[in-house]
Amino acid sequence: MDVSEGEFMLRTWFEIALWKRILLALALGVVVGSLWGEGAASIRWIGDLFVRLIGMVVVPLVFFTLVSGVMSMGDPQKLGSLGVKTLALYMITTLIAICIGIVLALLLKPGEGVDLSLAVPGTLQETIPLSERLMSIVPRNPIASLAEGNVLAVIFFALLLGVAGLVVGQKAKPVGDVVDAASEIMLKITSWVMEVAPFGVFALIAWVSGTQGVLALLDVVRLAIAVFLGCILHMTLVYGSMMKVLLRLSPMNFFRGARDAMLVAFSTSSSSATMPVTLSVAERNLGIRPVVATTVIPLGATINMDGTALYVGIVTLFAAQAFGIPLAFADYLIVIGATTLVSVGTAAVPGASLFLMSVVMSAVGMSPEQIAVVVGFILPFDRPLDMARTCVNVTGDMAVATVVANWEKEFDREVFDGPNRY
């Protein structure tokens, strides 16, 4: 191959929209992984490298863009209005997700007739008390929190710094200019990292297909159908309605603009790892201005877990059905309340909800031994289900950010209705 042919192929590759390259990589990963089997684990390091690259930019991107966004508000009161609306929307969508999960579990009855006798009990991770989680928001050392990647603490300190800059006013302008420049630099680095996405997605999906396999879902097909159907219904009905009914916007334009982040979320199973992509997509494809995107999305990656809430609700009813535990109406209300707390307290990393669901199961009378058996039963094929619910979580972050941006007049409709290329 001569130089001109190489240049032509390279140019052709970059002319293809990023979402198409990621989708192609995802499909090829499934095929290659299925054919290669366990050997696909040898290329997992490529996917891990991609996730590591994204993780590298998460904290500085969130910090600089959030400080920059807050300082550009001009009025500290606007931040309070934005925060109240954001938290209210996140809680409402989480409650709806739980209800969808419960209804589907009641209709499909995924746990009836399931034999859990051969399941190896899983190890349960203790849940973090709400008081401890709230305390961790305030950093003992902001620099240490930046180094450790404690996103909640970083958000808290960035908000303080931004609000202080607003109050100081003109004297803080030199700092604001530096932060603005740093924010642009981090966005540029993020765009470079995203060019690696197709290769990382290919390796991750090949590894999952080869070592765990989509066929593993056949062991619990009704549970898988309930989870995937619930995720699709929640995204189309809830997020689609938010666009159509609340904002009079095209749901298709929203999903088309959000697809890059949705595909990365599906492949990485981590809201936090996807956050840099979500921020870029929100601003460049959905028309959400930085002042809203940099506030709503990092918060959503931490507390908005619609997919997790839906999943935990379904699995709890699955376990109750499998063990023959009758549930009264009051038990369903307990599931809804407990799942809301668990979903808010779930870490935005792969598989975390699997161990935190013990709180919800114990709330309806399951013993620790029964919970451990359920975890052990689900663990072998949790990854494909985790991929689906993470996609819902990230899409929810973007949907809420779009609504809040409209309400706060920080929305560019021309960008939203544009070609939506990353």
Tell me: the pLDDT tens digits for 281-308? 998 899 998 888 888 888 887 778 898 8
The residues with which 207 forms a beta bridge, in sequence order, are none
Taking 60 as the threshold, does the pLDDT of residue 165 lie above it? yes
Taking 50 as the threshold, does the pLDDT of residue 422 lie above it? no
| Residue carrying structure tokens 């390279």 | 10
Name residues whose C-beta falls within 8 Å of residue 32's C-beta, 6 or more positions apart in sequence.
Answer: 40, 202, 206, 209, 210
The residues with which 411 forms a beta bridge, in sequence order, are 288
Confidence grade of residue 39 (pLDDT, cut at 50, 70, 90): confident
pLDDT of residue 69: 74
Kindly report, residue by residue over 313-356, the tens digit of the pLDDT. Answer: 898 898 888 888 888 888 888 888 877 766 655 554 445 565 56
Question: Which carries the bigger pLDDT value, residue 351 or residue 52?
Answer: 52
State the Cα–Cα distance between residues 41 and 168, nearest whole angstrom. 54
Kindly report, residue by residue over 237-261, the tens digit of the pLDDT. Answer: 999 999 999 999 999 999 999 998 9
CA-nearest of 306, 286, 305 to 234 is 306
Give Cα 133 to chain centroid, integer Å.
19
Q: What is the mean pLDDT of the chain?
A: 81
pLDDT of residue 76: 66
Provide the 10 A C-beta neighbour count for residue 24. Answer: 14
Mean pLDDT value of segment 374-398: 83
CA-nearest of 315, 59, 374, 10 to 190 is 59
Provide the 10 A C-beta neighbour count for residue 125. Answer: 14
Contacts 24+ apart (CB under 8 A), 331-340: 331/364, 331/365, 332/102, 334/363, 334/364, 335/98, 335/102, 335/360, 335/363, 335/364, 336/95, 336/98, 336/99, 336/102, 338/363, 339/98, 339/309, 339/312, 339/313, 340/91, 340/94, 340/95, 340/98, 340/309
Are 375 and 355 a contacting pair, CB within 8 Å?
A: yes
The token pair that represents 290 in the structure block: 């930085």
pTM score over 0.85: no
Are 206 and 35 a contacting pair, CB within 8 Å?
A: no
Burial of 59-94, coded b for 16+ CB within 10 Å and e otherwise, reads: bbbbbbbbbbbbbbbeeeebbeebeebbeebbeebb
Taking 60 as the threshold, does the pLDDT of residue 216 lie above it? no
pLDDT of residue 73: 66
State the Cα–Cα distance between residues 181 and 187, nearest whole angstrom. 10
Taking 60 as the threshold, does the pLDDT of residue 380 lie above it? yes
Ramachandran class of 149: left when φ > 0, alpha when ψ lies in -120 to 50, beta otherwise: left
Question: Which domains are delineated in the chain?
Answer: 16-416 (1.10.3860.10)
Q: How far is CA 25 from CA 15, 29, 162, 188, 204, in A?
A: 16, 6, 40, 23, 10
Provide the 10 A C-beta neighbour count for residue 233. Answer: 16
CB half-sphere exposure, 320, CA atoms < 13 A: 25
Vertex 240 angle, CA 234 and 242, to 5°: 100
Are 236 and 230 a contacting pair, CB within 8 Å?
A: no
Least confident of 72-81, 158-167, 194-203, 394-403: 72-81
pLDDT of residue 354: 58
Provide the 10 A C-beta neighbour count for residue 226. Answer: 30
